[in-house]
Amino acid sequence: MKKNILDLTFNELKELMLEFGFEKFRMTQLCDWIFKKHVFDFSKMTSFSKNMQVILSDKFNFFVPQIEEVVKSEKDGSYKFLFKAFDGRLIESILMIAPSRTTLCVSCMVGCPLKCSFCATGSEIGFVRKLDAGEIVGQFLAVEKYALEHKLIERISNIVFMGMGEPFLNLDAVKRAVGNFLDENLFGLSRSKITVSTAGVGPGIAAFINKFEVNLAVSLHFPNDKLRSEYMPVNKAFPLTKLVDELQKIELGKRDCITIEYIMLAGINDTMEHAKQLVKLLSTVKVKFNLIPYNPTTLIDAQPSSAKVINDFALFLKSKSFTVTVRRSHGVDIEGGCGQFALKKSK
């Protein structure tokens, strides 16, 4: 059976190329075509003979997700990409451009099985299927090609797994994709430029982070089990004590810490009492906080916290020596909240 070439690791691909009888240097040329020149069609790889091109296209599929639509946010300059996968399913990524870096937020599933009540992906799309590694790295290649052609950026420097889906429920593909993102023969990103975000599906989080040494973000959002289980059913299976135990097993480098994502919902999880619970809960782990104003949906009866409340919450955490950032909501005007764009399109 033909394999999607983007699903393979460098070593797997190298072995196959040798098996087909190609010289060693052909592998370097092939990687240049794909990862440097963004050519996703064997017949356009002009340094290869016709015969070689035919062999490659006989042996491999080349599935890069097809761009269906690109929307630019007028508010923050981010770009939302909607792709069609090989089976017609919709996948989304967001490109965020800052002066010092360009970050691509990738999806690892079509939909999500977790059903966090405030999130459009799980609550409205539900779970459709996992993406394979080739479809995950394919989002990077398709966006980088588009962004270069349109002179938006020179390269994508950072990856966050914060699009649709739960990485730790698609671990094989995510491991393969992260391995390829890190491989200097392929994407060559450094480990500090990759962040995997989880709603807290364990065990397995610590083993993964200790192996790949990439950054971890945890969508904690609530400071106690009662509240968290109400909004995030995953908490019933993997409650906060277990989650904190798992986080304690992560071996952090000197300058690393775990990012705690916290959506701010007015009157629900944003009081000083909640801030104190949070500090107590995380006293044994090295964390920094990213406070995220809730991106309003019709899914739950809630409003984003006011700027003053978010500021006071942040000041309290800072007074306890934590680093705190407040996220500008990326792409809110283009349905850039998790899953919202794909949802609108599929309706």
- Least CB distance to ligand SAH at residue 195 (A): 10
Rounded Cα distance, 47 and 32, in Å = 11
Rounded Cα distance, 60 and 6, in Å = 9
- Least CB distance to ligand SAH at residue 317 (A): 18
Q: Which is nearer to ligand SAH, 294 or 341 (CB)?
A: 294
Q: Which is nearer to ligand SAH, 55 or 206 (CB)?
A: 206
Q: How far is CA 164 from CA 29, 31, 53, 204, in A?
A: 33, 28, 35, 20
Residue whose C-alpha is closest to residue 181's, from 252, 114, 108:
108
- Least CB distance to ligand SAH at residue 337 (A): 5
Q: Which is nearer to ligand SAH, 118 or 140 (CB)?
A: 118
Q: Which is nearer to ligand SAH, 76 or 183 (CB)?
A: 76
- Least CB distance to ligand SAH at residue 274 (A): 16
* Cα atoms in the 13 Å half-sphere on the side-chain side of 46: 1
Cα 176 off chain centre by: 14
Q: Which is nearer to ligand SAH, 17 or 105 (CB)?
A: 105
92 among known catalytic residues: yes
Residue whose C-alpha is closest to residue 222's, from 105, 302, 122:
302
- Least CB distance to ligand SAH at residue 50 (A): 44
Rounded Cα distance, 285 and 207, in Å = 16
Are the C-beta atoms of residues 69 and 93 closer than 8 Å to each other?
Answer: no
Active-site residue, from 92, 124, 246, 261: 92
Q: Which is nearer to ligand SAH, 35 or 222 (CB)?
A: 222
Per DSSP, the three-state class of 247 is helix
Give the interface with ligand SAH as residue ranges (CB under 6 A). Answer: 116, 118-119, 162, 166, 197-199, 219, 261, 263, 292, 294-295, 297, 337-338
* Six token digits for residue 189: 């990103």
DSSP code per residue over 309-326: HHHHHHHHHHHTT--EEE
Are the C-beta atoms of residues 281 and 244 closer than 8 Å to each other?
Answer: yes
- Least CB distance to ligand SAH at residue 10 (A): 27
Cβ neighbours of residue 193 closer than 8 Å, sequence gap 6 or more? 101, 157, 158, 159
Which DSSP letter does residue 265 get?
Answer: B
Q: How buried is 266 (Cβ within 10 angstroms: 0-12 exposed, 13-18 middle, 19+ buried)? A: middle
Which DSSP letter does residue 117 get?
Answer: T
Residue type, 37: K
Active-site residue, from 108, 116, 119, 338: 338
Catalytic residues: 92, 338
